[in-house]
Amino acid sequence: MSESTTPLLEVEGISKRFGATLALSDVSFDVRAGEVHALMGENGAGKSTLMKIISGNYQPDTGSIRISGSPVTMASPRDAMVVGVAIIHQELNTIPEMTVAENLATGNEPLRFGMLDRRTMVAQAREKLARVGADIDPNRPIGRLSVGMQQMVEIARAVAENATVLVLDEPTAALSRTESQQLFELIRSMRSRGMGLVYISHRMEEVWELADRVTVFRDGQLIGTRDMRASGPEQVGPGDIVKMMVGRDIDDLYVRNAHQSGEVRLTVRDLTGPGDIGPVSFDVRGGQVVGMVGLIGAGRTEVARLIYGADRRTGGAVTLDGQPLEVRNPIDGIKAGVGLLPESRKDQALFLDLSVKDNIGMSTLPDHSSAGVVRNGSLLTAVRGVMDQLKVRSNALKLESRALSGGNQQKLVLGRLLLQKPKLLILDEPTRGVDIGAKSEIYRLINEIAGTGAAVLVISSDLPEALGISDELLVMRNGRIVATLDARTADEESVMQHATGVYDDGATTNETAGTAR
């Protein structure tokens, strides 16, 4: 890899605006032949926007893209593929009911007398798979393969279409350790064949293992690019990258409960629900923040909804402060002192057409009305109080909630819960899609609420967050709790091992690891 060669892909001065938000601001970036270029940054820092631009999904507002030195415009993913840029998305792009060979041939099926030539198709598939060193039967339905193998098939397709630049978006998110190692080998072999690889990941150790260069994004800006092969004073350490990502030391972001947790407030015993959820058993103490982690679909949200009364339980017993928590609907849940921040703010929590005041006050109207008539003064006082606590400006009171940022919208929902003065607060992905400023604010609030003695259960897919703010971690898999960890000592790797059920030796645990208290 010499400096003089023209990069395979160059973007220069790229900006992209959504409405009035600058998602990418004057970004210049390149990928050279024979390198792995890692992209890092918080969710929403601008990585995905950049990836969508170089894969033809978005058009930049300003700036240019050059492939091997010549300017190109990419109006669609198809255009990107033609010039040799392919992307492997986090969510797999395969059709599960179709075979591996059919998936590989999609859009380019070999025909014979106008009919599908199945034999040729399978032969071509074998060859494509061989090029990436994957030993997979082309006749198997792709949905029956592991995620890692499906990913191999996708890479095989990209390589077969002569991709020179391959973008991998969080490729190891759902892979076992063995599968990850196989993927790394494949990445190295593609690199040695002169391909340029863009590797997006949150996992520092992977980046350390693979990357030749690292570029960090924050708030739509390219913060910097570091040469990982540099030595001496130029040498970079993990701390430098983290600092670039968050703009400060990570310890300052997360706020962990300093107080002692008290008596057990919530007990859950053998709770089961529709869709093979449970049996699940655990406790949450007053003042304790318990994190619930696991892969998507592991059943975390379902458990939260069962406790709250949003869904019907099929079995088990739940108590709150020693009283049975028998809830048939959210009305019962709220009455019993449970507050839920739902997973999807826009679909399940916000009234976008209503004012900030109405949004915050909606669940506690009975406290501020007589004979069904709302006492406006009393409601206003309560809402103002909570807005101070949330640090939302009170001149926002009459604004429609749709006019607020995601972070402030989330704070409205939190405000609604604060007014309920819940004994148990369940927060499902409390910081999803909010900016880092609002995040730290939300962490502070969680800590504050726990400080008042409430039991707090936080569902999070953001592992550093879950590790950073919880006292205890419950790891869920397939509708059950498979591990209970001390969040102060656990690390991301061990959590992922429990969450995926795949350990260093590639062995899976049996389900009897079961319930943990």
Partner 1 sequence: MNPITDTTPDNPLPDTKPEPAAVRRGSVIAHWWDRVGIFLVLLILIALMAALAPNFLSVDNAINVARSVSINAILAAGLTVVILTAGIDLSVGSILAVAGVGSVLLAVDGVPTPLALLGGILIGAVAGALNGAFVAWLALPAFIVTLGSMTYLRGLAYSLLDGQPLVASDLGFRGIGNGSVAGIPQPVVVMVVVYAIFWFLLERTRFGRHVYAVGGNMEAARLAGINVKRVLLSAYMLAGAAAGVAGLIFSARVLSAQPTAGQGYELDAIAAVVLGGTSLAGGRGRILGTLVGAVIIGVLSNGLILLDVPFFYQLIIKGVVIIIAIALDSLKRFSRAGT
Q: Which residues bind to partner 1, rule: CB under 8 A?
A: 18-24, 43-44, 46, 48-49, 219-220, 247-248, 308, 310, 329-331, 333-335, 340, 342, 347-354, 358, 361-363, 365-366, 369, 372-374, 391-393, 396, 399-400, 402-408, 416, 433-438, 440-441
**Cβ–Cβ under 8 Å, residues 219 and 227:** no
**495 closest CA partner among 508, 507, 485, 504:** 485
In the complex, the smallest distance separating the C-beta of residue 69 from partner 1, rounded to whole angstroms, is: 30
**180 closest CA partner among 460, 478, 465, 503:** 503
Q: How long is the chain?
A: 517
Query: Residue 234 or residue 347: which is nearer to partner 1 going by CB?
Result: 347
What DSSP assignment string belongs to 385-453?
HHHHHHT--GGGTTSBGGGS-HHHHHHHHHHHHHHH--SEEEEESTTTT--HHHHHHHHHHHHHHHHTT
In the complex, the smallest distance separating the C-beta of residue 117 from partner 1, rounded to whole angstroms, is: 41
Query: Residue 81 or residue 469: which is nearer to partner 1 going by CB?
Result: 469
Query: Residue 340 or residue 487: which is nearer to partner 1 going by CB?
Result: 340
Place of tokens 């604004």: 399
Query: Residue 323 or residue 329: which is nearer to partner 1 going by CB?
Result: 329
In the complex, the smallest distance separating the C-beta of residue 248 from partner 1, rounded to whole angstroms, is: 7
Q: Please tell me the distance from the alpha carbon of residue 376 to that of residue 370, in angstroms, as a whole number.
A: 11
Give buried/exposed letters for 152-180 (b at 16+ CB in 10 A, else e).
bbbbbbbbbeebbbbbbbbbbbbbbbebb
Q: Please tell me the distance from the alpha carbon of residue 439 to that of residue 4, in angstroms, as a whole number.
A: 43
Residue 478, Cβ density class (10 Å: 0-12 exposed, 13-18 middle, ≥19 buried): middle
Q: Please tell me the distance from the alpha carbon of residue 466 to that of residue 294, in angstroms, as a whole number.
A: 11
Q: Please tell me the distance from the alpha carbon of residue 361 to that of residue 364, in angstroms, as a whole number.
A: 6
The amino acid at residue 427 is L
In the complex, the smallest distance separating the C-beta of residue 446 from partner 1, rounded to whole angstroms, is: 15
In the complex, the smallest distance separating the C-beta of residue 452 from partner 1, rounded to whole angstroms, is: 21
Query: Residue 128 or residue 218: which is nearer to partner 1 going by CB?
Result: 218
What DSSP assignment string belongs to 77-90?
HHHHHHTTEEEE-S
Query: Residue 316 or residue 422: which is nearer to partner 1 going by CB?
Result: 422
Q: Please tell me the distance from the alpha carbon of residue 338 to that of residue 63, in angstroms, as a whole number.
A: 51
Place of tokens 């059920």: 501
State the maximum Cα–Cα separation within the chain, in Å, rounded to a whole number. 80
Query: Residue 38 or residue 304: which is nearer to partner 1 going by CB?
Result: 304
Place of tokens 């994190």: 291
C-alpha distances in angstroms, 357 versus 340, 352, 361?
Answer: 19, 12, 6
Give buried/exposed letters for 39-74 (b at 16+ CB in 10 A, else e).
bbbbebbbbbbbbbbbbbebebeebebbbbeeebeb
**Cβ–Cβ under 8 Å, residues 194 and 27:** no
Identify how many contiguous H helices and E strands the chain contains and give both numbers.
18, 24
Query: Residue 226: how many CB atoms within 10 A of its CB?
Result: 19
In the complex, the smallest distance separating the C-beta of residue 401 from partner 1, rounded to whole angstroms, is: 10
In the DSSP assignment, the letter for residue 207 is H
In the complex, the smallest distance separating the C-beta of residue 215 from partner 1, rounded to whole angstroms, is: 17
**483 closest CA partner among 491, 492, 474:** 474
